[in-house]
Amino acid sequence: MKKYNVAVVGVGVVGIEMLRSLRQRKFPVADLSVFARSARDIEVDGEKISVKATSPESFEGIDIALFAGTEGEKGAAVTYGPEAVKRGAVVIDNGADFRMDPKVPLVIPEVNPGDIKNNKGIIANPNCSTIQMVVTIYPIYKKVGIKRIIVTTLQASSGAGKSAVEQLKEENKKINLGDYQNIHVHVEGKAMPQQLAYNVFPHIGGFADCEYTSEEWKLVKETHKIMHDDKIKISATTVRVPVRTGHSESIYIETTKPITPEVARDILSKSEGVVVIDDPKNSLYPMPKDAEGKDEVFVGRIRKDPFVKNGLWLWCVADNLRKGAATNAVQIAEHLI
């Protein structure tokens, strides 16, 4: 098997998962380079890894560059992505900067792998919440069509990075010690705008058009681009919840043709990357604690809307750092080679 020189850019929570995913999925790596803003040594699962400072010259001889990315704008891929491409690498970027560029494919391998061949050196990884929703609904869309989606996401702290996870830990610690006053105010290095421990709040990203947040608009625009169908009516509310890792989503779809929960369950059970757990009478349904560390999207609570003929509810859960970021990027690289 041919092997490839691979670079991982960024060693935050997503970068670490990219390193794990490459190893666990046995990606054919000839030489692995790890880059970040500054040089240092890190340890991942007991293995010491030397991290080098990123520079344009770093990408000489690199075949595939995985950028761990950021949900903010102007991530490392903006600075170094074109430099990597210039030197012959294909960039797979987990950040938000290139997703809506019409020249850049936005790819979920279970949904639109054919778009990978249209790359001009850069391929974008979708937002974590978009990935698990589209993996869930696309098999149904192919069978009966979808006219409308209403989704509420319940997104874990790790979606906002390591500092948000630490904030949740620190706030929980203060509450457990009986300090209930000004918990959020007294936490150093706050990553989120509100207290997260023992709390939820509907604010992920900045507020944009129609008083939607940027995270909510990502669910709309990215879904349209990935599915090549901008006629689907999509409305979203994104909520931060006090969970370490694993996003959950309550998804309501109105299909073009009728479909029963039984048929939907059967379709999803046979779909790539999907695991159906749907026995609520025995308290069996997807939960973030069970999805952590796994690459599949877990779906349950599949039920009909008793008041709308073609209305269907679904509940899905996925590890936002794995399928929602790192693993999806590595899967793109697998299809690429």
Phi-psi region of 178 (alpha: psi -120 to 50; beta: other; left: phi over 0): left
CA 184 to each of CA 162, 173, 319: distance values in angstroms, whole numbers, following the listed order: 17, 12, 26
Neighbour count for residue 336 (Cβ, 10 Å): 18
247 has catalytic annotation: yes
Q: What kind and span of H or E run contains 316?
A: strand 311-318
Which of 128, 186, 224, 335 is the catalytic position? 128
128 has catalytic annotation: yes
Can you give 37-99 as a three-state secondary structure string?
CCCEEEEECCEEEEEEECCHHHHCCCCEEEECCCCCCCCHHHHHHHHHHHCCCEEEECCCCCC
Q: How buried is residue 257: exposed, middle or buried, by Cβ count under 10 Å (0-12/13-18/19+)?
A: exposed
CA 227 to each of CA 18, 48, 104: distance values in angstroms, whole numbers, following the listed order: 25, 40, 15
Return d(Cα 115, Cα 226) in angstroms, integer: 9
* 320 neighbors 14 (Cβ within 8 angstroms): no
Neighbour count for residue 47 (Cβ, 10 Å): 9
Q: What kind and span of H or E run contains 299?
A: strand 297-304
Return the closest-CA partner of residue 35 out of 72, 71, 89: 89
> How many CA within 13 A on the CB side of residue 40?
7
Which of 186, 210, 228, 247 is the catalytic position? 247
Q: What kind and span of H or E run contains 33?
A: strand 29-36
Torsion of CA 333, 149, 248, 70, to 10 degrees: 50
Residues labelled as active-site residues: 128, 247
